[in-house]
């Protein structure tokens, strides 16, 4: 049961990072190119987080 707590913490951290990235993308005073670049970066990071979390779940269960 000890292995459940890091999963919850990582989920919370991933959600916070994703929301932070979304707030930065929606920011008003930015160029469209900068916003597009950030969108791509955030999508890549979100995919990496999802892959890591799925791998952790696969290892645990």
pLDDT digits (tens, 9 = 90+) for 1-57: 455 555 566 777 777 777 676 666 555 555 556 666 777 777 888 888 888 888 888
Nearest one of 37, 53, 45, 48 to 19, comparing CA atoms? 45
Q: How many CA atoms lie within 13 A of 50 on its CB side?
A: 7
- Structural domain range at position 44: 4-60
The pLDDT of residue 7: 58
Global pTM value:
0.39
Please state the domain count of the chain: 1
Give the CA diameter of the chain: 47
Handedness of CA 28, 30, 36, 39 (dihedral sign): negative
């Amino acid at each position: 049961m000890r292995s459940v707590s890091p999963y919850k913490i990582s989920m919370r951290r991933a959600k916070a990072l994703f929301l932070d990235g979304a707030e930065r993308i929606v920011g008003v005073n930015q160029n469209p190119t900068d916003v597009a670049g950030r969108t791509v970066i955030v999508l890549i990071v979100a995919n990496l987080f999802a892959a890591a979390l799925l791998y952790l779940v696969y290892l645990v269960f």
